[in-house]
Chain A
Amino acid sequence: MNILKNKYIYGFLTVVIGFLIAAGPQTVFQVCGVHEHSENVMKCFWTARAELGVGVSISILGLLSAIFGNPILRLGLTAGVLLNGILALLIPTVLIGVCGSNHMNCRALTLPALSVLSILIVAVSVIQAVYLRYTNKEGTQEDGKQTVND
């Protein structure tokens, strides 16, 4: 029962956070994108594009971890979400970045929103990974195919 609950709670959280990472920079906490006068494409535009891919990937992995029951498989999916979460944090902070002025929406709103969401998904995934390792310790067979949680 607990395993089932955990599966759905983690799956739901991952799908929602992944969706927000993907769609947020285009909608709720929108980036500046293209400069209105010069029509120059700003850095944050590419950050939003990259986050779209990473966010969708997180949502799909979350959905799969809500579907599959095998703890080893779910541990692998959780590791995937964790790595994508780290990537979602690195894109606006290190890999691509956002615009230079604190006045601009992408720095004042998009950057903190993406940072908070990424840190949340990383934290939730670490807790989930520890939980899966802990609950799976006694039940895992040597080949890791069948467990008491299946």
Chain B
Amino acid sequence: MESKPLTTRRLSAYNLRSKPFRTAGLVFVVFLLAFATFGGSLLSQSLKNGLGSLKERLGADLAIVPLNHEADYEGILLTGQPEKFYFDQSIEQQIEQVEGVSKVSSQFFISTLAAACCSVPVQVIGFDPDTDFVIQPWIGKVYHEKIGDGQIIAGSDIVLNDTGTLKFFNDTYKVVAQLEKTSTGMDYSVYANMNTIKMLVAGARKAGMNLSVDVYGTDVDRSISTVLVKLKKGYDADTVTTNIRRKISGISIVKSQNVFASTANNMDVLLTFINTITFVTWMLALFVLAVMFSAMINERKKELALLRSVGATRRKICGIVLTESFFISLLGGILGTATASLIIFPFSTYTREKLGLPYLLPDAAATLRLLGMSLLLSFAAGPLAAAYSAVKGSKAEAYVSIREGE
């Protein structure tokens, strides 16, 4: 049999292999540490990205909706939950006259169905390209022409068929562009001009789905779902809200800053929780590792003393223990980050649905940065926790250690 030199690395590997249960236990502790660090940092970064995206997405300062439909509108904005509510379009002209209002633009909402007639059940948002100041800046990032009749723009999470079309109420519509991911309800919505909306409603009525799409007797030519308002410079949302309420009754007003503030508050609680859990797990793992290494060195006193007696230097002994701890960290770190990746990335849509908060995964560069940082922390954890025990073990007197207990 070929003999191999007993290097520090080989000796450490043999030591770890000779005690598989102990090694597995130590690897598991580092696994937890790496999982919590990478998973926690990815989760909190995704929430921060989502909040930033929501801020950009809000666009309008105020949204006027029919009475008691504030929550429905916020649902459309945050999660894309299909909703429909209508009021008379004359409200748009009335709001335009209110003091402090700079721009207004109306939108019309209609929901498609989870049935054979439709490719996907989504919220279709009709807007007026001539007045819109909220959706078109986003569309402009991916499509530079004016959106035509019968054409639609799909949110990033809408799954298109091979021909780049979507079928709604048995009619096929061409998807001219797909928006970038925003982590808001925009990702689950479809956008069209008002003529296309009329085609959709006519299609729904022709297919006998009038009740299902819930436009009831609504006259599409005279109805709208919301009026988005941009304020003039120098006016605040509260003043203009009061001005609008004085002039128009039977409406509800959603303030963008309130939507953002309440989301930010909810997110703050969650972020504090995630960061605390990550920090506590990290500290706990480091403490457990330090205790386990200390116990291990105590148990292996005689073994290390024998190595000293056959000529191993203190540096070599120290090196063996630190290399063992590094191998453990390496394996635990890789397994922990890989498992976190297998959970966070494929299940991101599900996580977002369950959280009900804007959630946008970081881009590749940011993800790699977080991965590098998590791996570095995990790889350092083992040697850091073992350092004291390694020095202590290497300093023990060989003769005393061997004779101990006799």
Chain A residues close to B by CB (< 8 Å) = 32, 35, 37-38, 40, 42, 99-104, 107-109, 112-113, 115-116
Contact = CB atoms under 8 A, between A and B. Distances in A.
Contact of A116 (B187, B188, B342): B342
Interface string B158-189: 11010000000000000000000000000110
Interface residues of B, number: 22
A115 B343 CA distance: 11
Interface in B333-375: 342, 346-347, 349-350, 353
Given A37-B115, A40-B115, A100 B350 contact: no
Contact of B116 (A38, A104, A108, A115): A38
Nearest to B20: A5
B120 A100 contact: yes
A35 B121 CA distance: 11
Given A101-B159, A107-B159, A115 B346 contact: yes
B393 interface: no
B340 to A, nearest CB: 12
B349 A101 contact: no
Contacts of B161: 100
Given A35-B114, A38-B115, A109-B347, 6 more contacts: A100-B120, A101-B121, A101-B159, A102-B157, A112-B347, A116-B346
Contacts of A32: 114
Nearest to B155: A102
A102 B159 contact: yes
Interface of B: 80, 113-116, 119-122, 157-159, 161, 187-188, 212, 342, 346-347, 349-350, 353
A101 B347 contact: no
A101 B115 contact: no
A112 B351 CA distance: 12
A24 to B, nearest CB: 13
Contacts of A103: 80, 121, 188, 353
A90 B161 CA distance: 18
A89 to B, nearest CB: 12
Contacts of B119: 100
A112 B345 CA distance: 9
A108 B115 contact: no
Nearest to B156: A102
A40 B120 contact: no
B115 A102 contact: no
Contacts of B187: 102
A25 to B, nearest CB: 14
Nearest to B187: A102
Contacts of B116: 38, 40
A35 B342 contact: no
A113 B350 CA distance: 11
A113 B351 CA distance: 13
Q: Which of A35, A40, A42, A112 has the most CB of B within 10 A?
A: A112
A101 B120 contact: yes
Contacts of B115: 35, 37-38, 40
Contacts of A102: 157-159, 187-188, 349
6 contacts: A38-B114, A100-B120, A101-B121, A101-B122, A101-B158, A104-B114
Contacts of A113: 346-347
Nearest to A120: B342
Contacts of B342: 116
A121 B74 CA distance: 42
A70 to B, nearest CB: 26
A109 B350 contact: yes
Given A101-B159, A101-B188, A102-B159, A108 B349 contact: yes
A39 B82 CA distance: 20
Nearest to B161: A100
B89 to A, nearest CB: 29
A112 B346 contact: yes
A101 B156 CA distance: 11
B162 to A, nearest CB: 12
Contacts of A37: 113-115, 212
Nearest to B81: A103
A108 B318 CA distance: 50
Contacts of B113: 37-38
Nearest to A29: B350
B163 to A, nearest CB: 13
